[in-house]
Structure 1
Amino acid sequence: MIIGVLALQGAFREHMKCLKKIGIHGKLVKSNKDLEGIDGIILPGGESTAMGKLLVDFNMKENLSNKIKNGLPAWGTCAGMILLAKKIDGENKAHLGVMDIDVKRNAYGRQLGSFSTEKIIPEISDEPIELVFIRAPYINSVNNGVDILCEVDGNIVAAKQRNILVTSFHPELTENRAFHRYFVKMIKNNKSV
């Protein structure tokens, strides 16, 4: 199994380290050529506007969007969630626009609004998971077919729709690998369909 990590900007190195720790081969994705031969892709945290612009500049936006629409498992963390959303609060266009969610950028404020908490997310793990939020978005609303996996203070911070997983927080910045293992399981389940 090979999981691609979008490496245009953001926390891609951290995700690569997490994949290595659970025995999965990670592949940095910087071009359309790098999208070939991967079984899933992680879109990391970072600056969603910068990543969205680079996807266009490197002529990857349409190709990546089509691959996800055609079943490539994708997981977006923080900015990655914004890239995957069909609607961004206060903006009139989306980036990849593949998941039926409406997200609010920087919903928890700027850097000073960053925080962490612990939560049991039954779909992911029976143990409490540390959730690290850094200038994080959250999901304002979901449409039919989107499963809400976690809420914090009444805000949706993790969800899944078919082959797409999103988290407002950064599992790659903790020692807990439950979300990375869950994404691997999603890929395996996707292959057996």
Structure 2
Amino acid sequence: MTSPTIGVFALQGDVREHVQALQALGADVVAVRREEELDRVDGLVIPGGESTTMIKLADVFGVADAFRRRISEGLPTFGTCAGMIMLADRIVDGADGQTTFGGLDVTVRRNAFGRQVDSFEAQVPFTTFPDPVHAVFIRAPWVEQVGPDVEVLASVPVVLDAATDDDDERADRIVAVRQGALLATSFHPEVGDDLRLHRLFLDLVDM
């Protein structure tokens, strides 16, 4: 059986860690910076990084529309942290005029969990796995609204008012979703040795 060829968006972000995770699962991996590289792949990973820089560089290199086209045509795509923002159709608290590749019928809030100093780790239960995923959140977004075709895979409780721990001041915030062949997480699954989310993505590519 031929291994899938997975592209990793390589203009900015945590490219190396995703490449290593995908290679550990037997995928052939291509760093994608140009349209001809994008056209070679069976699936795409958009890593964590800085979403505003990603879209600016994609525009400068003239490949933003190519990414939009391939994703809209059904290219399986996995976005993590900033990659989730890049897949979202709508952004709250984005930079002025910020655009995305789109494709995922969600509204995300950029830097929802706070600044770099507010980064944290958590054991996050998933609907798709028997055991929680160890998740690393770094200036992470969360999903505020999902469309009817979006499946929520994981949420975390958030204290809405830091001055109280009352139950009624807590709300669940969505941190992982799937819509068809699109998968996105607020956190960085490439950190550590748990490859279940990358395996789930490769299963979507093989469908």
User: TM-score under structure 1 normalisation?
Assistant: 0.94
Aligned to 2:130: 126
- Checking the alignment, whether the CA contact within 8 Å between 2:55 and 2:99 is kept in structure 1 is no
CA contact (8 A) 1:82 1:105 kept: yes
Determine which of 172, 182, 193 is the counterpart of 1:175.
193
- Equivalent residue, structure 2, for 1:148: 152
Opposite residue 103 of structure 1, the aligned amino acid is: V
Deviation track 1:30-56 (CA, whole Å, cap 9, x = no partner) reads 111110221100000000000010111
Residue 164 of structure 1 aligns with an amino acid whose one-letter code is: L
Corresponding residue of 2:169: none
Counterpart position of 2:19: 16
**1:145–1:161 contact (8 Å) kept in structure 2:** yes
Runs (4+) off by over 2 Å:
90-94
Q: Distance in 1 between matches of 2:98 and 2:55?
A: 11
**Contact 1:87/1:93, CA 8 A, preserved across alignment:** no
Query: 1:168 and 1:29 mapped to 2: Cα distance?
Result: 22
Q: CA deviation at 1:90?
A: 3.6
Does structure 1 retain, via aligned residues, the 8 Å contact 2:89–2:105?
Answer: yes
Q: Deviations over 1:53-103 (max 9, x none)?
A: 011111111111111111100010000011111110144653112111111
Instruction: Give, in angstroms, the shift of residue 122 of structure 1.
Output: 2.8
Q: How far is 1:119 from its partner?
A: 2.3
What amino acid is the match of 2:80? T
Q: Verify: 1:186 aligned to 2:190, yes or no.
A: no
Q: Are the aligned partners of 2:6 and 2:29 in contact in 1 as well (CA < 8 Å)? A: yes
Structure 1, unmatched stretches of 5+, are none
- Could you tell me how far apart the structure 2 residues matched to 1:65 and 1:42 are? 14
Q: Structure 2 stretches of 5 or more lacking a match?
A: 158-171
Residue equivalent to 1:70: 73
1:135 aligns with 2:153: no
Aligned to 1:101: 106
